[in-house]
Amino acid sequence: MTSPFMLMVVTAFAVSLTTWSSAIAQPVSTESSKTLTDAQIRTELRRLHAVRTDCLAQAQQALALQRSANTGGRLAEAEAAGKTLTEKMACVDRVNQDLQRLQTQAGPAKAALFATEDRFHQEYREGLLARLGVLQRIIAQLGDPGTLTSETFAAQMDVLRRQTETFKNRYIRLLNEAETRELAKLVFEASDQLVGSAQSWRDQARAEHDIAGLAPNGATAQISRATATRDATQKQRNAQWETARQLVEQATALAAARYASQ
């Protein structure tokens, strides 16, 4: 049975997940003793967001471990996980307090910057998850490649390439932020692998066309070269698809652990 103390911690955990951004968006009517530039505010916001994300991720892991230990009757493990959960939620509380102090120091004139910056970050995180969703659908589609041709896949990958470039250009200043850097790296690397595989498949299809054209003439040497090209490009395409699949799998696990509740 879950203790009243743990119910209180879990409830605080859920509240922190859903209400923190509205808390820092409220203007604070206090004169600042030091003028902060927009760049300084953004830098500190990004640092605090990164710390908060890490603490929330560890809190989620601790909560899952505690529930598992309680179910299995492992009381010592449950207690240790409960302590970690409490520590990490205290970390979240400290970050929220730091965010409030930062806004107080910045003054009411900068309140809009806080709200705008938070919306921009949230929009970027949601965009990354949407890009991941696109990749998940492509990987699922590749499970039955008989529904595709090299031409249709190439057209699909051209759309993916343009959409990814547009996304990266819009959020260029957020691409290397600690808070989302790991997920972004996985998503963009998977996209690159899939886009590159379209060219591999085109080269494979071209070699197959050459083999079909040469076969009636019995041009053994040319057929051998075309066959070698076909086999090499097919192997490269399969390797690119497998790499992309693994990257998407890693990104999916990371997103589930770190961003699903945000």
pLDDT tens digits, 13-47: 444 444 334 333 333 333 444 677 888 887 887 78
> What is the rounded average pLDDT of the residues 169-174?
86
pTM for this structure? 0.59
Distance CA 174, CA 46 (A): 9
Q: What pLDDT, on the 0 to 100 scale, is given for residue 41?
A: 82
Tokens of 57: 């991720």
Q: What pLDDT, on the 0 to 100 scale, is given for residue 106?
A: 79
Tokens of 122: 């949230």
In tens, the pLDDT along 41-84 reads 878 877 887 787 778 778 877 888 888 888 888 888 888 988 88
pLDDT at 7 over 80: no
Q: What pLDDT, on the 0 to 100 scale, is given for residue 92?
A: 81
Please state, as a whole number, how many other Cβ atoms lie within 10 Å of the Cβ of residue 114: 22
Tell me which long-range contacts 207-212 makes (C-beta under 8 A, separation of at least 24): 207/233
Please state, as a whole number, how many other Cβ atoms lie within 10 Å of the Cβ of residue 11: 10
In tens, the pLDDT along 102-123 reads 878 877 777 777 766 667 777 8
Q: What pLDDT, on the 0 to 100 scale, is given for residue 10?
A: 39
Distance CA 68, CA 43 (A): 38
At 130, phi and psi to the nearest 5? -65, -40
Under DSSP, is residue 149 helix (H, G, I), strand (E, B) or coil? Answer: coil
pLDDT at 247 over 90: yes
* Cβ atoms 226, 210 nearer than 8 A: yes
Quickly state the pLDDT bin for 240 (edges 50, 70, 90): very high
Tell me which DSSP letter residue 34 carries. S
* Cβ atoms 114, 40 nearer than 8 A: no
Average pLDDT, the chain: 80
Q: What pLDDT, on the 0 to 100 scale, is given for residue 115?
A: 66
> What is the rounded average pLDDT of the residues 132-152?
89
Q: What pLDDT, on the 0 to 100 scale, is given for residue 32?
A: 43
Please state, as a whole number, how many other Cβ atoms lie within 10 Å of the Cβ of residue 172: 9
